[in-house]
Structure 1
Amino acid sequence: MDLRSLTPELSVSSQIRPEELTALAAEGFRVVINNRPDAEVGPDENGETMRAAAEALGMEYRAIPFVPGQVTPDMVEAQAEALALPGRKIAYCRSGNRSTVLWALSRAGEEPTAELLETAAKAGYDLSGVRPLIESIATHGR
């Protein structure tokens, strides 16, 4: 796990394991957002395993699998809904990049594009390649 804070309420990470959820819950995380498709992981880290582990700890779990290059408006909307849930959130994928992309797209139009890109960069993610999409959503909506 490589936990990186984007906001006080949201951190992103590379793949997390079910046993790591206990420590995350103890740190105050209440929502787990899985942006990694099951085809990329084995049965020990698939969506159902992660859902069961999160729910056993009283955490909310949302699966919004993001195949690289295949972002959809429904995914952006689902991410926005998950991010609106109460409590601290952890979103994860293979490296944290896709989770950061979905965060930025869900915030497009609500925060300046430059600030979204800067926040991502401070966490170690270069979103310059999705800047046109962020700006398009900011202009035209999801």
Structure 2
Amino acid sequence: MNIRQINEEYSVSGQITVEDVDTVKELGFKSIVCHRPDGEEFGQPEFAAVAARADELGIKIKHVPVGPMGVTPEAVAGMVDALEDFDRPILGYCRSGARSTATYEHALRQRG
């Protein structure tokens, strides 16, 4: 896992595994947002599996997929909801962290 801090409330990472969720908790993250659509790549963990482990550990988690169309208004709205509802710090993940960063930046602009 290669976690990059954007600011005190939000960091991003490439794809995480079910096993990584324990480390995410140990690192102090309170919430997770997944920006990767299921089935994007062979062998990619499904969101439901990651979410199940997060739930077991008491970490809030939300799926806000950003696919080939890029950051959509729906994705921005989903991220705004997460920012309003989730405890911090939040970890966003996708394949490389780029979509998680872009979606967060759009959501910040939307919130004003």
Q: TM-score, normalised on structure 2? A: 0.89
Task: Check conservation: 1:33, 1:62, Cα contact below 8 A.
Answer: yes
Alpha-carbon distance, 1:83 to partner: 2.1
Structure with greater helix percent: 1
1:1-142 equivalences under 5 Å are: 1-42=1-42, 45-84=45-84, 85-108=86-109
Instruction: List alignment gaps of at least 5 residues for structure 2.
Output: none
Which amino acid counterpart does residue 81 of structure 2 have in structure 1?
A: E
State how many pairs are aligned.
111
Gaps (5+ residues) in structure 1?
Answer: 112-142
Closer, same or farther: CA 57–41 of 1 in aligned 2, 3 Å: farther
Identity value in percent: 32
Separation in 2 of the partners of 1:42 and 1:56?
Answer: 26
- What is the distance in 2 between the residues matched to 1:3 and 1:74? 25
Q: Which has the higher contact order (CA 8 A, sep 6+)?
A: 2
Q: Which amino acid aligns with 2:103?
A: L
Alpha-carbon RMSD across the aligned residues, in angstroms, is: 1.7
Cα shift at 1:44:
6.1
- 1:36 Cα offset (Å): 0.4
